[in-house]
Amino acid sequence: MPEPMDRLIQLLARLPGVGRRSAERMAWALARDANGLTRELSAVLADTAQRMTVCSRCGNLTTRAEDPCRLCTDTRRDDRVLCVVEDPADLVWIERSGGFRGRYHALMGKLSPMRGEGVAQLRVDALLARLKPEGVQEVILALNSDTESDATSSFLHEALTAQGVRVTRLARGLPTGSGVGYADGATLARALEHRQTF
């Protein structure tokens, strides 16, 4: 395989959710470029790299002209409640749900010794620095439910409660529309542990 194709496949395979086979299919489609897709994609990528940045306050993606982002400058949002997520994409999913009107903070990862990601690589200091000046009273930990995310939640719980802030986390259990027979053991255990009064 020609070196440029191999390099393109390697880069595409580094994207989240893209395996080697999908990367190969994408690379071949781009290499054929019958409709000028490669040039258009190249222009959009260059424009995105030039114009986009991470919000200096919450970590959301925003344009360089809008930093802090729209969510941080919206005066209708509740400054007292801060929702902490691992990644800006998680922030977008929560925002789309329409169920949260507070502020956000993206950590840009989770504690993962195997990947060399510790506290220094996360935006923990920026989180702690926001608490008092912004009048934060509650922090919702909206992290994923894997081992590394649980370790990150435990670390953050300890650091945040030491600052006198109420710390909560998303409820865990059976998804709406699903059944007991389709849930794994860990999900069922969490659903039982976090049961609510009916």
Q: What pLDDT sits at residue 129?
A: 97
Query: Candidates 3.40.1000, 1.10.8, 3.20.20, 1.10.10; correct CATH number of 6-53?
Result: 1.10.8
Fold for the domain defined by 71-169: Dna Topoisomerase Vi A Subunit; Chain: A, domain 2 (3.40.1360)
Structure tokens given for 38? 């490669």
Residue 54: C-alpha distances to residues 6, 61, 65, 107, 186 (Å): 30, 5, 11, 11, 34
Predicted local confidence at residue 1, as pLDDT: 80
What is the C-alpha separation between 64 and 53, in angstroms, rounded?
6
Residue 169 pairs with which residues in a beta bridge? 141
Place of tokens 């490669």: 38
Q: What is the pLDDT of residues 128-160, one digit of tens each?
A: 999 999 999 999 999 988 889 999 999 999 999
From residue 150, how far is each of 26, 114, 131, 145, 185 by CA, in Å?
A: 35, 15, 22, 6, 17
What tokens appear for 197 in the block?
């009064």
Q: What residues in the chain have per-residue pLDDT under 70?
A: 34, 196-198
Q: Please give the pLDDT value at position 123.
A: 96
Q: Which tokens belong to 103?
A: 């502020």
pLDDT of residue 116: 82
Q: What are φ and ψ of residue 88, in 5° steps?
A: -55, -30
Domain assignments of the chain as residue spans, ordered by start: 6-53, 71-169
CA–CA dist 193, 173 (Å, integer): 9
